[in-house]
Amino acid sequence: MKEQGQQPNQKLPLQGAGGARVIISGGGTGGHIFPAIAIANALKKMDPATEILFVGASGRMEMEKVPAAGYRIIGLEIQGIQRGSIVKNLMFPVKLVKSVFKALQIIRDFKPDACVGVGGYASGPLLYAASIKEIPYLIQEQNSYAGKTNKWLGKKARKICVAFDGMDKFFPGADIIKTGNPIRRESVDIAGKQREALESFKLSATKKTILVTGGSLGARTLNNSIKAGLDQLIAADVQVIWQTGKFYYKNLIAELGENYHPNVCIREFVNRMDLAYAAADVIISRAGAGTIAELCVIKKPVILVPSPNVAEDHQTKNALALVQEHAAVFIADRDAEAKLVDKAIALLNDRHEQKILGDNIGKLAMPNADEVIAKEVIQITINN
């Protein structure tokens, strides 16, 4: 392993001259979409003549986020396997076949030089279609445990860009390159921003601060754990930036009130993650691969509470990969309500452990992943 808005049925005219033509497929969550956009931006920075088309899943987040970033996207009528629901899965085979045929049509119209799969529902049909049409493709595997689709598609991939060691148990070793996961650069630009950050959240510079983030949708376990431990946090005179997510914010505000306590800043969503990261002494988070990539660059002590509700328990495996390096604290989802706040307060009071965790997670940072992956994509188009 080496280290280092389009209408669905509208044909795509060939545009530009001289640049590579690249399809980037996948999405479903911010953890897939933001890295995909970062790769696209890096490709355009290297060569503005590069033509990029995104392929996502209709009705998913990418259909909004990608056009907002300035790129065209076509949606496939594809879904994932719905665990525990036979009825919801009845249409999966039909949607899968239709998505592959539509992906073949997209490839015929756009004539890509290479394709990139970042994970998510649309990635499988598009890369499978690319293999049928003998279009070279690259897989960006974000997690420490590869999913079944990527393992299967990896057999014919020109390159598999990974973020964790030991991925040769899933993919051909000669095709793997350790690049890390692309990050939102604006989110990790925290240098010299602590005062501005604390002021923006109306918090004190003389008190210790915990950031709790469960992603844009929120995390029930994290929210329940913080709610259960509010009295402890207030008694310890600890400040909390509590990003609840849109699914939980209204109920929590209705229960606690908008101005629950001066030490507790409750937000549905944090638009300026750089300020949230800058303000924090300790960070509590889920263990999505994209979030971990940012946390490595931030270099602050982290408590990870992996979501148990993701395919093949990816987040637990991601978190344990850091724990093995003494780069994060792990608390299982089932234990969080009883243990999380106690552990967070203890860590806030242990400067030595904070420094060890911050130093070790920083050693894992790969801040230029987007550029490294983009170079691999360009190399594929040259060698094709």
Name the least confident of 2-16, 66-80, 96-110, 331-345. 2-16
Is 315 annotated as belonging to a binding site? yes
Alpha-carbon gap, residue 373 to 4, rounded angstroms = 10
Q: What is the pLDDT of residue 109?
A: 97
Same domain? For 377 and 328 the reply is: no
On whether both 205 and 241 belong to a single domain, the answer is: yes
Contact (Cβ atoms closer than 8 angstroms) between residue 193 and residue 276: no
State yes or no: 244 annotated in a binding site.
Answer: no
Same domain (yes/no): 228, 100:
no
Specify the pLDDT at position 7: 39
* Number of domains into which the chain is organized: 2
Q: Residue 55 is part of a domain; what is its CATH number?
A: 3.40.50.2000
Q: Residue 156 pLDDT more than 80? A: yes
Tell me: do 162 and 302 sit in the same domain.
no
Same domain, 289 and 174: no
Taking the C-alpha atoms of residue 199 and residue 35, their distance in angstroms, rounded to an integer, is 30
Number of C-beta neighbours around residue 382 at 10 A = 10
Across the beta sheet with 282-285, what order do the strands follow? Answer: 264-267, 239-243, 209-213, 282-285, 302-304, 329-330
216 and 167 co-located in one domain: no
Residue 167: pLDDT above 80? yes
Amino acid 11: pLDDT: 42
Q: Which two tokens stand for residue 265?
A: 């800043």
Q: Domain for residue 9, yes or no?
A: no
72 annotated binding-site participant: no
Asked whether residue 176 falls in the same domain as residue 216, the answer is no
Residue 39 lies inside a defined structural domain of this protein = yes
Hey, which residues does 267 pair with through a beta bridge?
243
Residues 132 and 213 occupy one common structural domain:
no
pTM of the predicted model, to two decimals? Answer: 0.86
Output the pLDDT for position 10: 42
Where would I find the beta strands (DSSP E) of 98-181?
Answer: 114-117, 137-141, 159-162, 176-178
- Say yes or no to pLDDT of 360 above 60: yes
Give the pLDDT score at 81: 60
Range(s) of the domain holding residue 25: 21-182+367-383
DSSP-assigned beta bridge partners for residue 117:
25, 139
Greater pLDDT, 356 or 82: 356
Give the angle 227-272-351 at the CA atoms, nearest 5°.
60
Separate counts of helices (H) and strands (E) for the chain = 16, 13
Give how far Cα 314 sits from Cα of 34, 144, 253, 323, 350, Å.
Answer: 18, 7, 31, 14, 30
pLDDT at 312 over 80: no
Establish whether 143 is an annotated binding residue. Answer: yes
Q: Does 97 reside within a domain?
A: yes
* Per-residue pLDDT, 283: 98
Sign of CA dihedral 195, 198, 202, 207: negative
Tell me: is residue 31 an annotated ligand-binding position: yes
- The beta strand positions in the chain, using DSSP E, are 21-25, 51-57, 72-76, 114-117, 137-141, 159-162, 176-178, 209-213, 239-243, 264-267, 282-285, 302-304, 329-330
Is 307 among the annotated ligand-binding positions?
A: no
Q: What is the dihedral of CA 269, 274, 278, 283, to 10 degrees?
A: 50
Cα–Cα distances (Å) from 122 to 10, 24, 192, 209, 348, in that order, read: 18, 10, 40, 39, 42
30 annotated as belonging to a binding site for a ligand: yes
Separation between Cα atoms, residue 116 and residue 118, nearest integer Å: 7
- Verify that 357 and 210 share a domain, yes or no: yes
Asked if the structure places residue 134 within a domain, the reply is yes
DSSP reduced 3-state for 209:
strand
The pLDDT of residue 144? 87
- The Cα 69–Cα 63 span in angstroms is 11
Of the pLDDT bands very low, low, confident and very high (cuts 50, 70, 90), residue 382 is: confident
Verify that 174 and 28 share a domain, yes or no.
yes
